[in-house]
Amino acid sequence: MSATFGNCLKVTIFGESHSTAIGIIVDGLPAGMEIDEGKIAQAMKRRAPNASVASTKRKEPDVPEVLSGYFKGKATGTPLAAVIRNKDMRSQDYERTMEFMRPGHADYTGFIKYHGANDYRGGGHFSGRLTAPLVFAGSIARQLLERENIHVAARIQSIADIIDEGPYPFERISNAESKAFAAVDPEITARMQDRIREAHREGDSVGGTIECAINGFPAGLGNPFFDSVESRLSHIMFSIPAIKGIEFGKGFELTRMRGSEANDIPILKDGRVLFQTNHNGGIGGGITNGMPVIFRVAVRPTPSIAKEQKTVNIETMQEASLRIHGRHDSCIVPRAVEVVKCAAALVAADLWLEVHNG
C-alpha cells in the first residue's frame, strides 16, 4: 500500500486509531519558511471533538510533537516529521465485537486486503483519526499559501435535507472558520443543528456537504488530463474517510444548462482576463484560470450508529445482528470542514511549488 501523496510537497501518513501514535512526514517545505505554531493549534482544535451532540466523546489533546525538520520557528528544508499521541482509547469496545463486520465500515475489505492482520480497533488505519495529521500538514501548507496571498476557506453547505445554497463571497465563507459550527446563515445553522440532534436522539446519524474555495490562485497551474487540478483535488478528497462525491463550480447543475448558459465568458478588467461567471469552478482544461477554485464534497452519514443492524460474523460465516458500542459522531460534517480545507491547501501548495520551487 502507499500512504504518500504529492509531487513537490509530499506527505506520508502513518498509524492507527488505537496505536501508540499517528503521524505524518512532510517533505518539500521551503527552507527558512516561518511556521506559526499558534495557527497549527487553532486548526487542530477546529478538527477535534467538541461538546456538541454531533461530536464523539473521545477526547484527544491532539498536540503534534515535531520530531525533525523544524528549528527556531522555521522549516529547515529537510523532511518535517510529527507524531500525535493517542491518549483516550477504549479498545475493549472493539474486542467484544471483533469478528462482526460493522456495516458501512472497512472491516470486511480490510480483512480481505490484509489477510486478517489489520488493526480493527476504531477502524485502524482506515479511521478518520488519521485526518488529524493531515490537518497538521495542511495548516502549514495554508501558511505557505497565505504568504503568496492565496487563501483557502470552507463552509458547511448542507446537513441532511437542510441546505444553504448561497452563493457567498469568499470573505463570508472565510469568516465561518471562527464559528464552532462553520455555516454562514444563522437561521439555517439552527435548523441544521436541530437535524443532527434529531438523528442523535434516534440513535442514528446524518451527512451533508461542504463547500471549499481557493482564492488568489493565479492562472496556469495544473495540467490537462491525468494530472488536472480536478484530478488532484479529487484524489486527496477521496482519501478522507466519509467523502463520497465531489463537484466543481456548478457541478451536476451544468447538466441542466445549455452551453450558452454554462460557458464562462472571458472579459477584460484592469488589463487582466477574468470571467463573467465561474460555473466551471476556476478551472479550464484541468488548469486554473485565475478565478476562485470552487468545489463541494459529499460527506456520508457516520456509519457507527446505536441502532441494531444486520451483519456477518467473519469467524463463523453466519449472519448476525450487531449494535455498535463506543463513542461516535452523530454527524462528521462539522469536524470535516477543517480536514477538507487543509487537504485542499496541500494540493494548492503542491501546485504552487511546481511552478515556483527554487
Q: Which helix (H) or strand (E) holds 268?
A: strand 266-269
Beta 80-85 vs 65-68: how paired, if at all? antiparallel
Of 82, 83, 91, 23, nearest to 58 by C-alpha is 91
Q: pLDDT (tens digit, 9 = 90+) per residue, 244-253?
A: 999 999 999 9
pTM for the predicted model, two decimal places: 0.93
Beta 293-299 vs 309-313: how paired, if at all? unpaired
Give the model's confidence band at 19: pLDDT under 50 very low, under 70 low, under 90 confident, else very high. Answer: confident
d(CA 290, CA 220): 8
Residue 47 in marked binding region:
yes
Return the pLDDT at 16: 87
Report DSSP letters for 278-320, one per residue. Answer: -TTTTEETTEE-SSPEEEEEEEPPPS--SS-EEEEETTTTEEE
Q: What is the DSSP secondary structure assignment for residue 160, as one 8-state letter? A: T
Residue type, 180: A
d(CA 255, CA 103): 33
Residue 275 in marked binding region:
no
d(CA 189, CA 300): 19
- 221 C-beta neighbours (distance < 10 Å), count: 21
Q: What 3-state class would DSSP assign to 11?
A: strand
Distances 227 to 37, 51, 233 between C-alpha atoms, Å: 32, 41, 10
User: Hey, what's the cell of 338?
Assistant: 477543517
d(CA 149, CA 111): 45
Of 3, 12, 23, 11, nearest to 85 by C-alpha is 23
Contact residues for 159 (Cβ-Cβ < 8 A; gap 6+) = 192, 193, 195, 196, 206, 207, 208, 331, 333
Residue 127 in marked binding region:
yes
d(CA 21, CA 305): 26
Q: pLDDT (tens digit, 9 = 90+) per residue, 211-242?
A: 999 999 999 999 999 999 999 999 999 999 99
Q: How many residues in the chain? A: 358
Return the pLDDT at 110: 83
Give the model's confidence band at 93: pLDDT under 50 very low, under 70 low, under 90 confident, else very high. Answer: low
Return the pLDDT at 283: 98
Q: Does domain 4-356 have CATH number 3.60.150.10?
A: yes
The pair phi, psi for residue 73, each rounded to 5°, is: 80, 5
Residue 290 in marked binding region:
no
Residue 327 in marked binding region:
yes
Q: pLDDT (tens digit, 9 = 90+) per residue, 300-325?
A: 999 888 888 999 998 899 999 988 77
What are the residue ranges spanned by the domains of the chain? Answer: 4-356
d(CA 293, CA 283): 7
Residue 285 in marked binding region:
yes
Match 501548495 to its residue by C-alpha cell.
349
- 254 C-beta neighbours (distance < 10 Å), count: 17
Return the pLDDT at 212: 98
Give the model's confidence band at 354: pLDDT under 50 very low, under 70 low, under 90 confident, else very high. Answer: very high
Return the pLDDT at 70: 98
Return the pLDDT at 56: 60
User: Hey, what's the cell of 354?
Assistant: 511546481
